[in-house]
A and B are shown apart, each in its own frame.
Chain A
């Protein structure tokens, strides 16, 4: 069986409309008048990360003005060191990671006062090893991932209590091998990515029951080829990232049918106006466009840059951070 190359016969499955998607991402920024864009105003920093990482994976990061983006990012930084989702909003760890990731994309981490950002994040670690999202104390393993990923990119993971961070994540491990938001929380593919990713970055994947979790994850693939995030739920393009990256980190990605998943993602493209949606024929958005393209990158779709499954940044960016001095 020739499984190394999934005969990407364009006749069968269509192609990734790279040009359209680039256009779509660039256009999202300009459409500030719609109700949707105002509702999403508070998470513009996440949007910047999704859009710009997609452009980089598509080889088109140079179509934006880096200086403009960077100066906007820096105006979102607060006295505490944290970043907000947009100008006027409060700082939160969610947007701090996105800000750091975008700066890493542009190879501009040097504009940061690293100690200041690191101080903000380390200050959010709680006694039990968990992390709060901001000063208001919401605790979630998403924030553990964000803190750990961010500190690792800044090369100062040693500033937190890693042992406790690991043990908190393990306290959220379930009997199905997955992970939830807090102890006792139901397994969810997004949450599993956060926990597996954080453990990967901390060199602690030996705590994961790879065969059990791998089976749970590979059973997320439904008949249409798409992946869902929990049992008996609908498939959604965003899980192409959450499930796939987790399966890759634990070396069980061969348990799903990659070809069928590629087809599902390609079927969710808007071939007319660009962008990718959650399911075929739904409305597109930049979030799903990113997860679709990142998923295809993990599936080794030709013509895309490779993305790192733990840091969620292009492999060349991660290698530059860790090996290219």
Chain B
């Protein structure tokens, strides 16, 4: 019952309702007897119309009418006139049913069914639609039907585009019309129809149009999403690009057999390679497919014939991912060698929409191997790594050292054509920034602030793609702070956006990153060696990203934040130690990204909220039999209540796990963990046998 007032029914109403009910029931009983005995006499068919007029949702009656139509049309004496009169009847019944209930699925479908028999005309249907769409301009059944008629009768998309314009000028507050406009425009752009060849010419007009709506009433949502779509059209290049790699171009990678023997190499690029291989990571600006040994060519002295197996880093079994990894075997004979990797010289790397990777690029680095010298006295006991303040000291960079974040200018091969092509994009953004500043000078509104924040971030990224300068980050952070106060209902959305901008700002330059680089204790004697620990703790981060700048990180401290999610962390393939202690993780399934981190040995998830919640918000973002992303291999009945733990931890190679301070972590659960991870050496600080 939608929109019907609640009231105590009076006896006389009840009596009237009962009488009506009896009548309808009698009609229905009679109808069933005709339907079940396949009786299609005039009288029987008329009865079904009567039934539908009272109750258009009685779907079986629509089915019956279709059978009746087929019955009549298959009669030997059926001529064009009978066809016309039979089908006209159907159109009439539909129309009167729609007058009774404009939202009747059954009625609309029946009309489609009649039309697909080749009956009726575009004029007739558009006239009918016009009547209905004027009465309710947001009825999605009518809009769906309109698209159906337009397609069936080959009405031009430009005429339909004009119709959306008329509807919008009648009333800006018509999300349905804006939606249909976005559908038609993208189709026309895709087909490169006449007059729709370039976004460069088209987008300014559309911006102009949507400004009228937003300035008329900024709180009306009808134009918000259309504007965001235009912004996306302005910012996004269709073709995928490689934005980051590990190892970075021009870097020197030191591979050590065990972590004790590190000496004097750079702590940024000394990597443990006890498995005899090391990862190569490709990070694109959007998900791509087709990364393989035929699209990525590796040239190095020590790996001549072996084909690399590229693995997409995505949660599901999909063959599309933004980040790809392959493992290259360490050189054995040569101690110093160069590796050159070329991406995209053949055309098979494509975005899901089918755009090709079109900026072939090459990066190279040097690999230095430190042969293994086993010193058995030092490796025996698993050291307990404690993420305490006193265990870290600020890292002082050597003069010539730099963080191996890729220099983007070397990675992307610049070409004159692309940069002129992008000019209009930057100009369009600058114009939008100006426009929304004007809006905010007229009135304080949330969509003005939110859009300005998005525009400024997009503008920074587009203006300085290679420098990663964020000149507006302070202003954007301030805008999100304002929004949290202005629109407390969506506080957490702005908070998440705020965190992401903050992280981008911190990772945007080497200088700001270095402020967060630490070293663990007395690194020489420590079993973890001397890698840099990036400490992003105590920043009240609720979300994380910017992983393309952090591919080199092996130790990461995210403790004492407000994280509920670690989405995207799977890109950090070098991670060895990770602290997520004192965050707000709600469930084990939220740890799914860790399953792709084959180097991870030390994990702290203590003092989170795992086990506090009855609703698991990552239940379908992890691999489980519920989503058919893994088979049901849970054979141990004792594990049924712990299936999340089973699927999450069975493939991890942890030495050390801290899980104390979570509701789930009772003694029974811990014994299950030990069973699932036989290689675990320490649990909550205690040494296991």
Binding site for B on A (CB under 8 A): 4, 33-39, 41-43, 84-85, 88-90, 92, 134, 136-138, 140, 152, 157, 162, 174-176, 180-182, 184-188, 200-207, 212, 214-216, 218-219, 221, 223, 225, 230-234, 236, 248-251, 253-257, 260, 270, 277-279, 281-285, 288, 297-300, 306, 308-310, 315, 318-319, 322-324
B21 and A42 within 8 A (CB)? no
Known contacts A4-B609, A4-B612; A90/B63 CB under 8 A: yes
Most chain-B Cβ atoms within 10 A of its Cβ — which of A176, A203, A215, A221? A203
Main SS at interface, chain B: helix
Write the chain A residue with the least CB distance to B110.
A136
CB distance from B146 to the nearest CB of A (A): 10
Q: Is the CB of B21 within 8 A of A33?
A: yes
A203's partner among B176, B628, B640 (CB-CB below 8 A) is B628
Evaluate contact between B488 and A257: CB separation under 8 angstroms. Answer: yes
Contact A136 B66 (CB under 8 A): yes
B398 at the interface (CB under 8 A from A): no
Tell me whether A216 and B225 are in contact in the complex, defined as CB-CB below 8 angstroms, given that A136-B66, A254-B564, A298-B615 are known contacts: yes
Is B669 in contact with chain A by the CB < 8 A criterion?
Answer: no
Cβ of B317 < 8 Å from any Cβ of A? Answer: yes
Interface flags for B161-197 (1: CB within 8 Å of A; 0: not) read 0000000000001011001101100100000000000
Instruction: Determine if A187 and B3 form an interchain contact, defined as CB atoms under 8 angstroms apart.
Output: no
Chain B residues positioned under 8 Å from A206 (CB to CB): 287, 314-316, 318, 320
Q: How many A-B residue pairs have CB under 8 A?
A: 232
- Which residues B215-269 have CB closer than 8 A to chain A? 220-222, 224-225, 228-229, 232
Q: Which residue of A lies closest to B624 (CB)?
A: A322
Alpha-carbon distance between A134 and B615 when the two chains are bound, in angstroms: 34
Q: Which residue of chain B lies nearest to A219 when distances are taken between CB atoms in the complex?
A: B221
Q: State A236–B619 Cα separation when bound (angstroms).
A: 26
Given A175-B229, A188-B140, A231-B222, A205-B620 contact (CB < 8 Å)? yes
Of A36, A218, A281, the residue contacting B493 (CB under 8 A) is A218
Interface string of B271-312 (1 = CB under 8 A from A): 000000000000000010000000000000000000000000
Judge whether A232 and B5 touch: CB under 8 Å. no
Nearest CB of chain B from residue A154's CB, rounded to whole Å: 13
- Say how far B268's CB is from chain A's closest CB, in angstroms: 31
Contact of A34 among B18, B182, B620, B623 (CB under 8 A): B18
A88: contacting residue among B60, B140, B490, B617, CB under 8 A: B60
Interface contact B634-A186, CB-CB below 8 Å: no
Residues of A contacting B640 with CB < 8 Å?
319, 323-324
Most buried by A among B58, B60, B491, B584: B60
Which residues on the B side are within 8 Å of A219 (C-beta)?
221, 224, 490
Contact A90–B626 (Cβ < 8 Å): no
Contacts of A207 in B (CB 8 A): 352
Chain B nearest CB from A136 CB (Å) reads 6
Interface residues of B in 637-689 (CB under 8 A from A): 640, 643
Nearest B residue to A311, CB-CB:
B626
**28 CB < 8 A contacts A-B:** A4-B609, A34-B21, A35-B24, A42-B58, A42-B60, A85-B59, A88-B32, A136-B66, A152-B628, A162-B628, A184-B180, A186-B140, A186-B176, A187-B179, A200-B620, A203-B317, A206-B320, A231-B225, A233-B138, A249-B619, A251-B590, A251-B617, A253-B617, A255-B496, A277-B1, A278-B3, A322-B632, A323-B634
A220 to chain B, nearest CB (A): 10
Contact pick for B627, options A201, A212, A231, CB 8 Å = A201
B6 touches A300 (CB 8 A): no
Nearest CB of B to A198, in Å: 11
A300/B626 in contact, CB under 8 A: no
Q: How far is the CB of B289 from chain A (nearest CB, A)?
A: 12
- Interfacial chain B residues near A216, Cβ < 8 Å: 225
Q: For residue B238, give the distance in angstroms from its CB to the closest CB of chain A.
A: 15
Flag whether B464 is at the interface (Cβ < 8 A): no
A106 CB to closest chain B CB (Å) equals 21
Binary contact track B555-573/A, C-beta < 8 Å → 1, others 0? 0000000001101000000
Quote the shortest CB–CB distance from B385 to chain A (angstroms): 28
B417 at the interface (CB under 8 A from A): no
Shortest CB distance A14–B (Å): 16
Other than the given A232-B138, A256-B490, 10 more pairs (CB < 8 A) read: A33-B18, A35-B24, A136-B113, A186-B175, A205-B316, A206-B315, A221-B490, A236-B2, A299-B615, A309-B615
Question: Which of A39, A136, A212 is close to B55, meaning CB atoms less than 8 Å apart?
Answer: A39
Which A-chain residue is minimally distant from B613 (CB atoms)?
A300
